[in-house]
């Protein structure tokens, strides 16, 4: 886990889990996670492969340039960035989305 004092690689893509985008949505929303101690974090991944391994094959995602990560984290209200985290099975997006579910 890093705080914002450490920065993402400038110019390199950073992959972020996002909320599922619905038809008509104008923006994508970064998915936040609350840790057991109550801190709100942004999950960030150094590659798409790391995101899939950490969140599951069906996790919606977006990529941003590394230099924009601090702005995203600050704007989201998150306290920190958690890099390349592997989520527990029950939190992963591996199962197909069922009808009527987003």
Average pLDDT over residues 32-59: 94
pTM for the model: 0.78
Residue 68 DSSP label: G
pLDDT tens column, 5-34: 345 555 689 999 998 877 887 888 899 999
- Which of these, 48, 40, 25, lies nearest to 82 by C-alpha position? 40
Q: Half-sphere exposure of residue 89, counting CA atoms within 13 Å on the CB side?
A: 0
Query: Which has the higher per-residue pLDDT, 19 or 44?
Result: 44
What is the per-residue pLDDT for 97?
Answer: 53
Evaluate whether 55 touches 87 at the Cβ level (below 8 Å).
yes
Q: Which of 60, 49, 61 is nearest to 86 (CA)?
A: 49
Q: Characterise 64 by phi-psi region: left (phi > 0), alpha (psi -120 to 50), beta (else).
A: beta
Give the pLDDT of residue 95: 59
């Amino acid at each position: 886990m890093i705080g914002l004092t450490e920065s993402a690689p400038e110019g390199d893509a950073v992959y972020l889990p996002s909320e599922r985008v619905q038809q008509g949505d104008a923006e994508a929303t970064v998915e936040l996670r609350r840790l057991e101690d109550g801190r709100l974090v942004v999950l960030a991944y150094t590659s798409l492969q790391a995101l899939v391994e950490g969140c599951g094959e069906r996790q919606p995602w977006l990529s941003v340039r590394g230099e924009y990560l601090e702005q995203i984290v600050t704007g989201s209200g998150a306290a920190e960035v958690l890099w390349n985290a592997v989520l527990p099975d029950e939190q992963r997006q591996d199962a197909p989305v069922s009808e009527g579910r987003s």
